[in-house]
């Protein structure tokens, strides 16, 4: 036993491993704080709609979400360029600081137009999180660790959503919804202060060399294999992305998957209105979805690194099929005549497995593909792909809230998600097939064909 412990501690003395753990921990904490801020509005939704001073409808709530997605869309189109130009550290710290300020301010106002602006600003800043982390991961971690690193980071997103729904939902039993925004923003501000000291932008800042994802000596002569986009201009990189079938397919699939993930924003309101839960109960119960996502993505990154592209294609497509079945169950529940208690129990199971089913496809293929295919332009590529996803989510937020306000709205709302789920399966299947075929040719990037 003592020998095993000594070995573990000796491994931690390795400066590269130690700094990799510090960087990973910093990104985990920071992105968790960003997701906490985003989830605060979701948790507060039922309470805001019930607040007589706000006169907020589901249409208005969806519009707030839609303006937030508009901010995210703008951020995805710009933050990747900023991350590639100035590095991930600076952008990550700015994202935390601005998001914290906007979220704290959100709880102090009651005007709908102010809500639009502040949530737009908050999600504009939050959108910098993924491109800035892509930049940090590329320079800190070797390629064979990318899958597990993204998997761990993704658990931060989902884990934070679980904590937010449980913690903030429980606070609704005690305080007004406005205090939830103060708590979330305060935690994020503290995270920014801590990471200002501990997060480093590159291995060179602590005397370490770049990993093999950036520099890879692959022959006995010591020649280095460079990524095809290493010396390509931004316009040239964008042209390469535009010619790639895989880029267009991953953009299409992420549009569908982002809409499916956006269901989380409406879950507390859906549960409250469909099954007679109180405001606080519906907020706490909505943790079912991020718990499913957390369970799924926790193992997904490690599995991604170990299985073949062909096996991955079968697993992810089958998993999306399970998600479609879960949506089907939610859609037919209202027609089966169950009691509210039984209906809530079945809906909870369906939402749990829906989160488990769609999460790996949402997080991992896009994140890993962006680094492999984009190289030094990974921040731009991941931002572009995310922009397509959030553009679709923005439209869904505006439309979904309006649909849910109409008679029989939740049935039509779920029907829209079902159609989007079918499109997600088709587009992801084609992307994974082309990615598998490209791996068989042993090429990370095919500039003309993708």
Query: How far is it, in rounded angstroms, from Cα 275 to Cα 100?
Result: 34
**Residue 309 or 200, more confident:** 200
Confidence of residue 119 (pLDDT cuts 50, 70, 90): very high
Residue 299's region, left for phi above 0, alpha for psi from -120 to 50, else beta, is alpha
Alpha-carbon distance 67 to 133, whole Å?
24
Q: Give CA–CA dist 290/10, Å, rounded.
A: 36
How high is the pLDDT of residue 10? 55
Give pairs for 203-207: CB < 8 Å, separation 24+: 203/16, 203/19, 203/139, 203/140, 206/15, 206/19, 207/15
Overall average pLDDT of the 388-407 stretch: 89
Residue 69 has pLDDT above 70, yes or no: yes
pLDDT at 218: 37
Average pLDDT of the chain?
85
Q: Please answer whether residues 143 and 137 qualify as being in contact, where contact means their C-beta atoms are separated by less than 8 angstroms.
A: no
pLDDT 10s digits, 258-270: 999 999 989 999 9
Q: How far apart are the first and last CA of the chain?
A: 51
Most confident of 225-234, 288-297, 324-333: 324-333
**In the CATH hierarchy, which fold is given to the domain comprising 14-211+232-440?**
Growth Hormone; Chain: A; (1.20.1250)
Indicate if the pLDDT at residue 7 is higher than 90.
Answer: no
- pLDDT in the model for residue 448: 43
Flag whether pLDDT at 431 surpasses 60. yes
Report which listed range, 107-116, 158-167, 231-240, is most confident. 107-116
Per-residue model confidence as pLDDT tens digits over 273-316? 888 888 889 989 989 998 888 888 776 656 766 777 788 888 99
Q: pLDDT band at 341, cuts 50/70/90?
A: confident
pLDDT of residue 223: 41
What DSSP string describes 282-337?
HHHHTTHHHHHHHHHHHHHHHHHHHS-HHHHHHHHHHHHHHHHHHHHHHHHHTTTT
pLDDT of residue 371: 77
> Around Cβ 111, how many Cβ atoms within 10 Å?
9
Name which residue leads in pLDDT, 377 or 267. 267
pLDDT of residue 415: 94
The pLDDT value recorded for residue 55 is 86
Q: When comparing pLDDT for 101 and 155, which is higher? A: 101
Across the range 173-199, mean pLDDT stands at 93
Question: Cα–chain-centroid distance for residue 200?
Answer: 23
Name the residue ranges covered by the structural domains of the chain: 14-211+232-440
The pLDDT of residue 194: 94
Across 47-56, 273-282, 410-419, the highest mean pLDDT is recorded for 410-419
The answer to whether residue 206 scores a pLDDT higher than 60 is: yes
| pLDDT (0 to 100) of residue 217 | 37
């Amino acid at each position: 036993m003592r020998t095993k412990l000594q070995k573990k501690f000796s491994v931690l003395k390795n400066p590269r491993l130690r700094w990799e753990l510090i960087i990973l921990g910093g990104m985990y904490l920071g992105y968790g704080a960003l997701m906490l801020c985003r989830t605060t509005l979701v948790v507060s939704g039922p309470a805001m709609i019930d607040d007589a001073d706000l006169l907020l409808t589901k249409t208005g709530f969806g519009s707030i979400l839609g303006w937030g997605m508009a901010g995210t869309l703008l951020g995805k189109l710009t933050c990747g360029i900023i991350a590639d130009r100035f590095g991930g550290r600076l952008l990550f710290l700015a994202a935390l600081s601005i998001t914290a300020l906007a979220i704290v301010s959100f709880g102090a106002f009651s005007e709908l137009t102010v809500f639009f602006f502040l949530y737009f600003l908050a999600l504009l800043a939050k959108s910098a999180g993924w491109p800035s982390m892509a930049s940090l991961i590329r320079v800190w971690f070797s390629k064979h660790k990318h899958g597990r690193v993204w998997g761990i980071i993704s658990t931060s997103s989902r884990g934070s959503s679980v904590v937010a729904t449980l913690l903030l939902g429980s606070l609704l039993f005690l305080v007004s919804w406005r205090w939830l925004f103060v708590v979330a923003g305060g935690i994020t501000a503290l995270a920014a202060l801590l990471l200002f000291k501990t997060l480093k932008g590159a291995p060179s800042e602590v005397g370490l060399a770049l990993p093999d994802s950036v520099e890879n000596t692959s022959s006995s002569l010591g020649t280095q294999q460079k990524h095809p986009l290493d010396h390509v201009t931004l316009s040239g990189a964008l042209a390469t992305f535009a010619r790639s079938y895989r880029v267009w397919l991953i953009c299409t699939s992420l549009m569908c998957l982002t809409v499916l993930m956006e269901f989380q924003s409406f879950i507390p309101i859906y549960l409250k209105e469909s099954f007679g839960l109180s405001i606080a109960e519906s907020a706490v119960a909505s943790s079912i979805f991020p718990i499913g996502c957390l369970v799924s993505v926790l193992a997904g990154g490690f599995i991604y690194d170990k299985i073949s592209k062909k096996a991955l294609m079968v697993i992810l497509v089958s998993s999306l099929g399970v998600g479609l079945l879960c949506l089907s169950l939610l859609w037919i529940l209202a027609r089966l005549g169950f009691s509210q208690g039984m209906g809530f129990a079945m809906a909870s199971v369906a939402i749990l497995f829906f989160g488990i089913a769609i999460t790996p496809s949402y997080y991992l293929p896009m994140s890993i593909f962006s680094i492999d295919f984009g190289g030094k332009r990974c921040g731009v590529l991941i931002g572009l792909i995310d922009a397509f996803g959030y553009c679709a989510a923005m439209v869904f937020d505006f439309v979904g809230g309006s649909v849910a306000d109409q008679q029989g709205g939740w049935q039509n709302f779920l029907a829209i998600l079902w159609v989007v789920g079918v499109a997600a399966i088709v587009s992801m299947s084609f992307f994974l097939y082309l990615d598998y075929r490209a791996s068989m040719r042993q090429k990370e990037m095919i500039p003309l064909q993708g």
